[in-house]
Amino acid sequence: MADDCALAILKGTTDKACSAMEIVHDCGLPPSSVYRRIGEFVDAGLLAVDRIVITKEGKKFSIYRSTVREIHAEFKSGEFELNVTPNEDVVSKLTRLWGSMRLEK
């Protein structure tokens, strides 16, 4: 995960939500790399869709936000330790949205 694209995506979405194209423009990264990494990060739970925007022309795109604020990894004495600090804004929003869903009978 320690490549330029991965770091730019996580850094760019920690304090504010943004679209894939904003990351492309802000960081000068290839769109294909950004979209591929975003998909991987969403699948891994490191990014979440903050909202979906629909333009006047009907085009849809997602706005992403990092679900983590910090990740610390350590390999010591043959053991691997991973400490993750959640991005509370995102976690709170997802918890609230999840809690508001109702199962229809």
Task: List pLDDT tens digits, range 57-97.
Answer: 999 999 999 999 888 999 999 999 999 888 877 667 667 67
Percent of the chain with pLDDT over 90: 53
Q: pLDDT for 25-51, tens place per residue?
A: 988 888 999 999 999 999 999 999 999
The CATH fold of domain 4-100: Arc Repressor Mutant, subunit A (1.10.10)
Strand locations in 18-96, DSSP E? 18-19, 47-54, 60-66, 68-76, 79-86
Average pLDDT over the chain reads 86
- Per-domain boundaries in the chain: 4-100
Contact 38, 47 (CB under 8 A): yes
pLDDT value at residue 4: 80
- Taking the C-alpha atoms of residue 16 and residue 1, their distance in angstroms, rounded to an integer, is 21
Residue 92, phi then psi, degrees to nearest 5:
-60, -45
